[in-house]
Amino acid sequence: MTGASVQLIRNATVLVDVGDTTFLVDPMFTPQGENPPVPNSPNDRKNPLVPMPDVDLTYDAVVVTHRHPDHWDEAASEELDADVPLLCQPEEAEAFADEGFTDVRPVDDETTFDGVTVHRTPGRHGHGDLAEEMGPVSGFVFAADETVYVAGDTVWYGPVEETLDRFEPDLVVLNGGEARFVEGDPITMGVEDVAAVREATDAAVVVVHMEAINHCLLSREELRAGTADVSVPEDGERVGL
């Protein structure tokens, strides 16, 4: 496909096309309902809530924003080829190597892959002490002729705005769903966060991480109703420039 695009697979699992290169981001392959619910959440539905769509999973490299089980699961660890190029946070490189992956590429600041410059960017997975407890999370910017910013599990805060200003992406992928626990503020983006991103960039904005995990309470319909000029794809749907 010419130009940049993103195809939502399910939850935060997406295929990002930049130029002639395709990155599989945050693979979660577990069949529907085979994992327990996220604890301390307002409901007890088993995860994932929905099945994997029937899509062609062809890619050149894997990128993992962080190792929470809705972004990297045992099924992905078992199904991916051990020698697949795997880009990740430096803090988590050893864990992937321990699982048998032989081409782990921790990204401190930036690296290149197949003509694409890949930058690791900051994220904050929630607010206050809870964000610290959720551990390190990252976003990634993929830059070639077009630039795609995958923000990862973060809320709207200064470094997200700074990333938008620095890279001026053509396409921005946000993790929505307004995931939360019984107590505390949301740990992923809700309507106000998405609207803030929309206001801060001229890029195409795509929101994923919706309606697949039990603690993600914001629906696609609610997000579409509360925002303008934002794409909220269904599972399996591709959004291009």
Tell me the per-residue pLDDT of 35-55, one tens digit each, with 9 for 90 and over: 999 999 999 999 999 999 999
Query: Got the DSSP string for 113-130?
Result: ETTEEEEEEE---SSHHH
Kind of pairing between the strands at 204-208 and 116-122 = unpaired
Tens digits of residue pLDDT in 147-169: 999 999 999 999 999 999 999 99
Contact at 8 Å (CB) between 232 and 223? yes
Residue 196, amino acid: A
Q: Of 17, 3, 42, 56, which is closest to residue 216 (Cα–Cα)?
A: 42
Helical axes 191-200 vs 158-167, angle rounded to 10°: 30
Report the helix count and the strand count for the chain, using DSSP H and E.
6, 13
* Cβ neighbours around 95 below 10 Å, total: 16
pLDDT of residue 202 exceeding 90: yes
Which pLDDT score, from 0 to 100, does residue 58 have? 97
Options 3.40.50.410, 3.60.15.10, 2.40.50.100, 1.10.10.10; CATH for 5-232 is: 3.60.15.10
pLDDT of residue 1 exceeding 80: no
Confidence category of residue 139, pLDDT binned at 50, 70, 90: very high
Tens digits of residue pLDDT in 89-126: 999 999 999 999 999 999 999 999 999 999 999 999 99
Contact at 8 Å (CB) between 147 and 115? no
Q: What is the pTM of this model?
A: 0.97
**HEC letters along 86-107:** EEECHHHHHHHHHCCCCCEEEC
Asked if omega into 48 is within 30° of 0 (cis), the reply is yes
* Cβ neighbours around 184 below 10 Å, total: 15
Confidence category of residue 3, pLDDT binned at 50, 70, 90: confident
Contact at 8 Å (CB) between 23 and 16? yes
Percent of the chain past pLDDT 70, that is, above it, reads: 99
Q: Of 205, 224, 208, 232, which is closest to residue 70 (Cα–Cα)?
A: 208
Confidence category of residue 2, pLDDT binned at 50, 70, 90: low
Give, in degrees to the nearest 5, the angle at Cα 57 between 26 and 1.
Answer: 100
Percent of the chain past pLDDT 90, that is, above it, reads: 95
d(CA 61, CA 1): 17
Tokens of 176: 């929505």
Which distant-in-sequence residues (6+ apart) come within 8 Å of 148 by Cβ? 4, 6, 16, 18, 141, 142, 169, 170, 171, 172, 173
Domain boundaries, the chain: 5-232
